[in-house]
Amino acid sequence: MSLAFLPGALEQGLLWGPMVLGVYLTFRVLDFPDLTVDGCFTLGAATAARLILMDQDPLLATLVAVLVGALAGLITGFLHTQLKIAPLLAGILTMIGLYSINLRVMGAANLSLLRIDTTITKIENAGLPEQFAAGVLGIAVCLLVLFLLYIFLQTELGLAIRATGDNEQMIRSLGVNTNTTKMIGLALANALCALSGALVAQYQSYADIGMGIGMIIVGLASVIIGETLIGNPTLLRALIAAIIGSIIYRVVIATVLQMGLPSTDLKLLTALIVTVALAFPVIRSRYSSSLPFLGKGEVRARRQ
């Protein structure tokens, strides 16, 4: 089997990394299953692509995409905190609404960025060999996001956001308005997700209305893979695990494609990976006596 697919998988893992960090932020830190991600990823791609096609600077286009993503997160936050809509439903509502908005932003179901200047071609023009450009961009973005997120989550505000997901009653009894912390967390997570969308559009040289479908599951799969292989004893390790998980997920996908799986079956495969990963602790506790190789029969608590 040729390993020529590895660099590509690595690049993808890195460019999708911010999105995975966003999913980590909502699902794990905030304990808020946010499905806005699917629509928000496309929103980031659509915004960046449209602005680039309007001759805007690709870097500026990416930044605007990030801001628009944060806005989408705020909408979900508003639906949940002010209108008291359940988290899952609030996310779905925003996601569905974004589908139409994304079409309006793009003005078509897809936009091509072929032979147009993007952040990646800019890096190439700066003198970096073509085959490294996307990888270098991915590493730079992931390191930057990782660093900023790590610092932020240790500020007072960051601590309050983490506590909101851990023990809402406690943090409210300490005088924090959990509506605010949820809004900020959702805005941040969706900004990251839109950042990935914008980068991926420039990497693939197109934005497509369907490119965000199933993104939440991709994000979850990556988070779980990272947690299982790297673990999360400290905050820094948990954040790095999310990025590594994103890379490994892409390597797994590239490998099975290489082995002949039709690409149309990818979503099914991803769904299966996540299902197995989520079910594993339950299966282990139920059948540990008859299947001792599964390890100790304790359902691992999500939080100790």
Partner 1 sequence: MLDVNNVTKIFNRGNINEKVALTGLSLHLDPGDVVTIIGSNGAGKSTLLNVVAGVFPIDKGEILIEGRAVHKEPEHVRAAYIGRVFQDPNLGTAASMTIEENLALALRRGNRLGLRRGTGKKRRELFRERLKLLGLGLEDRLTTKVGLLSGGQRQALTVIMATIAAPKLLLLDEHTAALDPKTAQTVLELTEQVIAQEQLTTLMVTHNMEQALRVGNRTIMMHEGRIILDIKGAKRQNMKVSDLLQMFEKASGKTFANDRMLLSN
Q: Residue numbers of the site for partner 1 (CB under 8 A)?
A: 152, 154-160, 162-163, 166-167, 169-178, 303-304
**Which residue lies nearer to partner 1 by CB, 167 or 288?**
167
Shorter beta-carbon distance to partner 1: residue 234 or 290: 234
Whole-number minimum distance, CB 231 to partner 1, in Å?
A: 13
Q: What is the DSSP string of 229-251?
A: HH--SSHHHHHHHHHHHHHHHHH
HSE at residue 230, side-chain half, CA atoms within 13 A, is 22
The identity of residue 224, as a single letter, is I
- With beta carbons less than 8 A apart as the criterion, state whether 72 and 94 touch: yes
In degrees rounded to 5, what are phi and psi of residue 10?
Answer: -65, -45
Say how many CA atoms lie within 13 Å of 64 toward its Cβ.
15
Smaller CB separation from partner 1, 60 or 174: 174
- Least distance (Å) between residue 115 CB and partner 1: 42
Instruction: Give 283-288 contacts, CB < 8 A, sequence gap 24+.
Output: none
For residue 253, give Cα distances in angstroms to 57, 153, 244: 33, 31, 14
CB of residue 300 to partner 1, shortest distance in Å: 13
**Residue 6 beta carbon to partner 1: minimum distance, rounded to whole angstroms:** 35
Tell me the closest approach of the beta carbon of residue 12 to partner 1, in angstroms. Answer: 30
Nearer to partner 1, 173 or 263 (CB): 173
Nearest to residue 161, comparing CAs of 130, 184, 137? 184
CB 212 within 8 A of CB 40: yes
**Which residue's CB is nearer to partner 1, number 142 or number 176?**
176
Task: Answer whether 55's CB lies under 8 Å from 73's CB.
Answer: no
Query: Least CB distance from residue 302 to partner 1, whole Å?
Result: 9
Q: Which is nearer to partner 1, 173 or 289 (CB)?
A: 173
